[in-house]
Chain A
């Protein structure tokens, strides 16, 4: 029974995601919007691995997201015409950066941790902004495009068929979500929860807290860079704004909006954020005020996010 209960949200998410291109189209969306939701949802879930399940707030996750994007874009532009290689290079770039930065900052806590993550994020932002000859500077990196996938005799034209690209992204999202879920259910994941709930107690029990935080930061950064690589492939474009602090802030908003204590919450938050942005920005120039207003309302009335409320109602 409890197993069934645990599998229910995952299967519901799977059904909704697999059918999303149809029902989103029926309510005025389009395939690319669905892809965007999945990609940004993955980034928000990656951030939430750290925020919701380890209990530290990173305000600089756009750096790893953006490095993943630039890694993928530059691999396609300068190295070899292969989507798989591009994603691999992007993830490697973001993960290595997260490992290095993480090692420097795991001793910090609370607002200091958040401040330093912003600072390091901005370092990467200014590097991409300034290094014109390699990154294209403020203009962004153009002159490349994602390509059809080839697996032996099978070819999947993700370049021109949006639907094919959606399922390619969804497949990677599924793997990433499964891995994150498995890690969270493992003893390591339970230890992260223990650190979140009471760090001092965890330390007294002999848990190497810093090492756990560092690993959690690297895993989180790694999945954020996977999302970034997919984001670059989605747009066939990447620019320094993907690394800037306001992009990091958007990820935090998505996670809080959807509910940072639940595994699927950030995906729901990303969905709300992206759809709201897409619809409202077509109607008014001041769309950010509406997103902001919505965020304020959620924090005031549903501090546990949208999924937090639904869950409480279900258990009541």
Chain B
């Protein structure tokens, strides 16, 4: 620091002024937006834009953005323009997700809440939105409870439950890999229920648990778990980690040469993770929730090229989930002719996604009993491809949602309505 007092004073003054100016600048956009008038319908997007699930959350956002553009191009919702307010929930901090959900509802007066990739965050947000009576669509948080024991009248889910994924993939795992299963499981709601679901589904087919490890979200070094897994000599090591955790775990397993000694597989797999892996680590039997290559499905090419135009890449399951979730809001509002939470939720029950939004062999619909979307599940194998290839998954079997989900009673969901 300088010893010339006048110089020192000057720099501090400037700094204070700069800080004050920066602070004032923060206030400008909102004030301008208010002055402009003509209240749009707001979607509150509260999802994982940083951390382990950043890639998944961002792709969900891209899908939502495309849907909002299309909704506005077709006249908006009830004659009003749609505007999306985006907040980062972080990948693992439920407190932040809750804070952001409240902020969206209280300050930005959103009519819909979209989120979250992380199951635990989705559950925590569901409690806030139910309390405030705002329609809430969960594009991609899989734990059973969201549309099961912790279901709410206002919460609907696009992605599958962990039990559906387990039921869909278990027969193929037994067929392709064997019956002694070792689990590498992320230590939070999603991992717990996915492992429990697989154990349940595996039991019916004679599969047994060779061992299991709970790994904290955001683990970077899986070597100790992998050594333990190898020592248990299972037929298959089942990776239930997701996002960056999936990439780290599979990469290290292949570096250890485990794929030569045993099978590496799992339940849910995503294009984002396969893209992040070296070709030799793209192995195993998995479930995809949606895939960009589906022969004979109408409107699919238009969607793929629209996303390619936006991002230069093919859409992933997350992109589709965001797209379907945002469009569902508009469809519900058109059907209900209202933005009242209860009326919207009633309109969502049983709502069938039209082909240009569903983009699946059979039209997916929101099951009235537990508010769970009944889509198609894509069971198949990861394929190595080359460094830049986009077709990294071979679909070998289609499983229909109702078949994978089982009866509504099994979900454990009891809906209580506010005015009932």
Taking beta carbons and an 8 Å cutoff, which residues of A are in contact with B?
27-33, 36, 132, 137-140, 142-143, 145, 162, 235-239, 241-242, 278-283, 285, 294, 297, 301
Given contacts A137-B188, A139-B119, 17 further A-B contacts (CB under 8 A): A28-B31, A29-B107, A30-B106, A132-B192, A137-B187, A138-B216, A139-B188, A140-B94, A142-B150, A235-B95, A235-B99, A239-B95, A241-B93, A282-B103, A285-B88, A297-B19, A301-B15
Question: Is B127 interfacial (CB 8 A cutoff)?
Answer: yes
Cα-based distance from A48 to B192 in the complex (angstroms): 40
B131 touches A145 (CB 8 A): yes
Residue in contact with B95 in the complex, picked from A242, A279, A301, CB distance below 8 Å: A242
Evaluate whether A237 and B98 lie within 8 angstroms (CB atoms) in the complex, with A137-B188, A138-B217 already known.
Answer: yes
Evaluate whether A138 and B124 lie within 8 angstroms (CB atoms) in the complex, with A28-B27, A32-B102, A281-B87 already known.
Answer: no
Interface residues on B, range: 35 or more
B337 to chain A, nearest CB (A): 27
CB-based nearest B residue for A236: B127
A142 touches B124 (CB 8 A): yes
Question: Is B49 interfacial (CB 8 A cutoff)?
Answer: yes
Evaluate whether A32 and B188 lie within 8 angstroms (CB atoms) in the complex, with A139-B94, A285-B49 already known.
Answer: no
**Interface residues of B, dominant DSSP:** helix
On chain A, the residues within 8 Å of B216 by CB distance are 138
On chain B, the residues within 8 Å of A27 by CB distance are 27
Which 5 A-B pairs rank lowest in CB-CB distance, beginning with the nearest? A139-B120, A138-B188, A30-B107, A140-B94, A139-B189
Cα-based distance from A281 to B88 in the complex (angstroms): 7
A32 touches B120 (CB 8 A): no
B99 touches A139 (CB 8 A): no
Sample (17) of A-B pairs whose CB atoms are under 8 Å apart: A28-B27, A31-B106, A140-B95, A140-B124, A142-B124, A142-B150, A162-B106, A235-B95, A236-B127, A237-B124, A237-B127, A238-B95, A241-B94, A279-B26, A281-B87, A281-B88, A283-B26
A138 touches B88 (CB 8 A): no
A310 to chain B, nearest CB (A): 11
Cα-based distance from A281 to B50 in the complex (angstroms): 11
Cα-based distance from A279 to B29 in the complex (angstroms): 11
Cα-based distance from A283 to B87 in the complex (angstroms): 8
CB-based nearest A residue for B12: A301
Cα-based distance from A49 to B41 in the complex (angstroms): 47
A143 touches B150 (CB 8 A): yes
Evaluate whether A139 and B123 lie within 8 angstroms (CB atoms) in the complex, with A242-B95, A285-B49 already known.
Answer: yes
On chain B, the residues within 8 Å of A162 by CB distance are 106
B61-88 contact mask (Cβ, 8 Å, vs A): 1 or 0: 0000000000000000000000000011
B1-38 contact mask (Cβ, 8 Å, vs A): 1 or 0: 00000000000100100010000001100110000000
Question: Is B92 interfacial (CB 8 A cutoff)?
Answer: yes
On chain B, the residues within 8 Å of A30 by CB distance are 103, 106-107
A311 to chain B, nearest CB (A): 16
B127 touches A32 (CB 8 A): no
Cα-based distance from A294 to B216 in the complex (angstroms): 31
Cα-based distance from A36 to B192 in the complex (angstroms): 32
Cα-based distance from A294 to B18 in the complex (angstroms): 12
On chain B, the residues within 8 Å of A142 by CB distance are 123-124, 127, 150
The residue in A137, A281, A301 that gathers the most chain B C-beta atoms within 10 A of its C-beta is A281
CB-based nearest B residue for A162: B106
B88 touches A236 (CB 8 A): no
Cα-based distance from A280 to B26 in the complex (angstroms): 8
On chain B, the residues within 8 Å of A143 by CB distance are 127, 150
Question: Is B128 interfacial (CB 8 A cutoff)?
Answer: yes
B195 to chain A, nearest CB (A): 13
On chain B, the residues within 8 Å of A238 by CB distance are 95
Cα-based distance from A162 to B131 in the complex (angstroms): 13
A148 to chain B, nearest CB (A): 14
On chain B, the residues within 8 Å of A283 by CB distance are 26
CB-based nearest B residue for A139: B120
A237 touches B106 (CB 8 A): no
Residue in contact with A28 in the complex, picked from B30, B127, B128, CB distance below 8 Å: B30
On chain A, the residues within 8 Å of B150 by CB distance are 142-143
On chain A, the residues within 8 Å of B94 by CB distance are 139-140, 237, 239, 241
